[in-house]
Amino acid sequence: MRHAQTYAPLMAPMLAAAALAAPAQACDAPLYDPKWRDGPIRVAADCSFTDADEFPGQTISASRAQAIGNGLLGQVVTVYQACGIYQTLMVVDCNTTETLMIEAPEGNPPVSFGGSNNREIKDLYAPRGKLQLRKTDTVPRLQSRAASHGYETTTDVAGRIAQMKSRNRYNPFCGCALFHPDSAGAERAKTNATGRPVKKG
């Protein structure tokens, strides 16, 4: 495989995971459940997570960490609330500890189930979307390319996570400990998004 080629092995499993998270084709707005409790986030060994929800009727989860190349890892973060699905590609550079989030665009044509238009990862990647991941990517290069296609991006991933309740925060560098255990990102995997040590047990 030439370095300039799209890194299709990453896209296929991410799209498959995103498809599993997609809502049904009909939806009633969720009602308040008095039995709902804001439990702590659950993180699996592959760095996928569930139960990052912040209120009833919302679910926040992510696919497993996957290698893009050049020290970069990717995960799809999925938020489902008010009959809508909102997906984001989260990218971290384990060597530089740079981070990036790229918002999936509204579908073409937009699809809505009573709330805002859905934003699904399948509409971000080629061939439906315009984004291509490359094994030689860096965070600045990927952000520039995403922005050139009109996609919304942010490098303040820690700031976004810090807005969540502490029990629901996830560590974007989790996968660095798996794929690049001697990297600066792996060291950051020992702390949460605010820089505090991760509690064991």
User: Please, what's the b/e burial string for 142-151 (b: 16 or more CB within 10 A of its CB; e: otherwise)?
Assistant: bbebbeeeeb
> Is 2 part of any domain?
no
Please report whether residue 1 resides in a domain: no
To 5 degrees, how large is the angle CA 69–CA 97–CA 50?
Answer: 80
Give the helix/strand (H/E) hosting 58. Answer: strand 58-62
Residue 55 included in any domain: yes
Pairing between β-strand 153-154 and β-strand 49-50 as defined by DSSP bridges? unpaired
Domain assignment present for residue 119? The answer is yes
Name the strand (E) or helix (H) holding 182. none
Evaluate whether residue 139 is within a structural domain.
yes
Q: Which domain holds residue 51?
A: 8-23+38-188
Q: Please tell me which residue, 186 or 56, carries the higher pLDDT value.
A: 186
Number of compact structural domains in the chain: 1
pLDDT in tens, 17-40: 554 444 444 555 555 566 666 778
d(Cα 150, Cα 173) in Å, to the nearest integer? 26
Q: What is the mean pLDDT of the chain?
A: 81
If we measure between CA atoms, which residue out of 156, 154, 85, 153 comes closest to residue 121? 85
The answer to whether position 120 is within a domain reads yes
In a domain, 32, yes or no: no
Q: Is the pLDDT of residue 112 over 70?
A: no
Residue 193 domain-assigned?
no
